[in-house]
Structure 1
Amino acid sequence: MDSMQFNKIAGAVLLTVLIGFVITEVSHILVHPGSHGEVAYPVPEIAEDGAAPAEEEAPSLAVLLANADASAGASDFNKCKACHTIEEGGPNKVGPNLFGVLHNDIASHGGFAYSPVLSDMEGEWTFEKLDAFIANPRGYAQGTKMAFAGIKDAEDRADLLLYIRSFGDADAALPEPEAPAATEGEAAPASEDGDARQPANDGAAPAADQPADNAAEQTENGEAATSE
């Protein structure tokens, strides 16, 4: 290989390296990497022990009703007006008149032909039953003629139930929210005289203001006997 041929090969190699370097620099100038966009599906955070965080418990129907708004329920009832009336003495339409429906027997409104699945149901329309029925009519009563998709939002249903209650059932008592369970370490509930109830303490010394001669004495069979 003569020097001329070697120079040509070396020049070609250097030219290739130079072209690659120029392309890399130009690409960095033209393209500016930016921050990532919003995550399409966020992954739930994992606790240190590997367990997924517990989901917040949804409020109970009693809590929702305690905070419901009947005027908002009047707006929600517009979805029902095509099939129902609610005023006292109102006519049946595609569905029965709903005046006084709360705590009334299921499928008992006069002059309306109910579907067999509702006619065979026993009991009365409680808040809980109406809530479940309004949420998913066909899921609650499979075979019902009520062609309504239901109201999925629990707060909207509570508003609607409070509105329905105002027509003939204004005196119907709302469900009582359950009292939160006492957790370990919480103070015991107060007694009627306002003092906190103290747990029994086996083997504790008698109170300071109790006379010593009134303290309990141990009998032979192990039972405490108080002095007279």
Structure 2
Amino acid sequence: MQFSRMEKLGFGVLVTAWVVWGTNKIGDTLVHANEPEKMGFEVAVADDGAATAAAPKEAEKPVMELLASADPKRGAKVFKKCTACHSAEPGAKHKIGPNLWGIVGHDQGKMDGFSYSDAVGGLGGKWTLAELDKFLHSPKEYAPGTKMTFRGITKNADLAALLVCLQTLK
């Protein structure tokens, strides 16, 4: 008996469908899924939810108050973010940003061999801890037009640790 290609194809599809159907039935027989009585899960919410949501967060201490207890080792960990654009060794070449060795107490916007943006270059004054605190908290607010793309450090404890770390770079 000779079968045409279409008959062979049809028979193959039929056998495949029977195998899939049979495997499904055998699987359903061997494995029983326990359906939950209720779909989803319940989230427990406190009765005084409105009062809890309205409670203010405890305010962070200002960075300048945290300097005395800040850990320079923690600051070194925070500084790792800075190493993408800055070097911090004596005599090291500038990267995208200036070398930060000796930055605390240095003139703002003036570093041999580095071209600052007009925003930072025109600041004048010195990089004191207070000025670095303001700048590193939000560079774009401190010096609008700065080339520094870093958004800033929002956690005061991290910023205080970084400032203590920068102070050791001398």
Conservation of the 8 A alpha-carbon contact between 2:88 and 2:100: yes
Q: Letter of the 1:91 partner, please give it.
A: K
Q: For this pair of structures, how many residues does the alignment match?
A: 131
Q: Which has the larger radius of gyration?
A: 1
TM superposition shift of 1:36: 6.6
- Equivalent runs, 1:142-181 vs 2, <5 Å: 142-168=144-170
Which residue does 1:8 correspond to in 2?
none
Q: 1:159 to 1:116 in 2, by over 3 A?
A: same
Conservation of the 8 A alpha-carbon contact between 2:67 and 2:161: yes
Q: Select which of 113, 116, 127 maps to 1:114.
A: 116
TM superposition shift of 1:77: 0.7
Which residue does 1:126 correspond to in 2?
128
Distance 1:44 1:126 in 2: 42
Q: 1:42 to 1:134 in 2, by over 3 A?
A: farther
Structure-1-length-normalised TM-score: 0.51
- Equivalent runs, 1:51-200 vs 2, <5 Å: 56-168=58-170
TM superposition shift of 1:135: 1.4
TM superposition shift of 1:113: 0.5
Q: Letter of the 2:44 partner, please give it.
A: G
Structure-2-length-normalised TM-score: 0.68
Higher relative contact order (Cα pairs below 8 Å, separated by 6+ residues): 2
Q: Which runs of 5+ in 2 are unaligned?
A: 1-36
TM superposition shift of 1:38: 2.8
TM superposition shift of 1:126: 1.2
Q: Select which of 38, 46, 51 maps to 2:45.
A: 38
Which residue does 2:17 correspond to in 1?
none
Task: State the Cα RMSD in Å.
Answer: 2.6
Q: Which runs of 5+ in 1 are unaligned?
A: 1-29, 46-51, 169-228
Residue identity over aligned pairs, in percent, reads 37
Distance 1:154 1:94 in 2: 26
